[in-house]
Amino acid sequence: MIKPRTIKQAKTECLAAWAAHPEATHGWCVHHCIEIEELSESIVSRIRYIVKNKAKDEQVTRLDNLRPVLSISIVLTARAHYREAIATAEKAYDKAIAPIAPALKAYNEATAPALKAYNEATATAMKAYNEATATARKAYNEAMARARKAYDEATAMARKAYDEAMAMAHQRDCPNHTWNGRTIFQNR
């Protein structure tokens, strides 16, 4: 039977991993629900905080996942490519929704009389509002759906490439990590 690891063992291994890479500027799972982040304080302070303040049954998992990012060039390159793709997709999205301006103007012009009628008589106004805005609302929703679809398609490949690069880097730097895409704790 294998004896479970102790907090002391996990802490010693965590400290050793960081001591071996004092140049590290980013960490894996510094916080349980953030896969990677730039260090904002001494890692030794974070380790002390975990041991002093976090639940005993979480400490080994936290310390086992808290490792320096050694694959920083992979991570930063993936992040840069992802941000470029998002910027390109946002420009395409803005271009796609530009033609919506006339539809929005028509929608606003159509709603003005309906809103006035609504204030005069609720029942009559609701019917007039729905009739007056149906065409403009339909045109607006269709244009927005096309823009959303184009944006989603433009970002999907970039997101996939980014996620794959992050997973590869994380696995390489921290082979025994328990990150599941949201947290290091498997039951959350």
Q: What is the DSSP string of 30-54?
A: EETTEEEEE--S-HHHHHHHHHHHS
Span 95-130, pLDDT tens digits: 888 888 888 888 888 888 877 776 776 777 677 788
187 pLDDT more than 80: no
DSSP state of 29: E
> Which range among 42-51, 56-65, 118-127 shows the weakest confidence by mean pLDDT?
118-127
Q: What is the arithmetic mean of pLDDT over 25-50? A: 95
**Rounded Cα distance, 130 and 73, in Å:** 55
Mean confidence (pLDDT) of the chain = 89
Name the pLDDT band for 4 (thresholds 50, 70, 90): low
Q: What is the arithmetic mean of pLDDT over 149-157? A: 89
**What is the crossing angle of helices 7-19 and 43-53, to 10°?**
170
> Which range among 45-49, 59-63, 152-156 shows the weakest confidence by mean pLDDT?
152-156
pLDDT of residue 31: 94
pLDDT of residue 3: 58
**Rounded Cα distance, 12 and 142, in Å:** 58
Domain map (residue ranges) of the chain: 7-70, 74-166
pLDDT of residue 179: 87
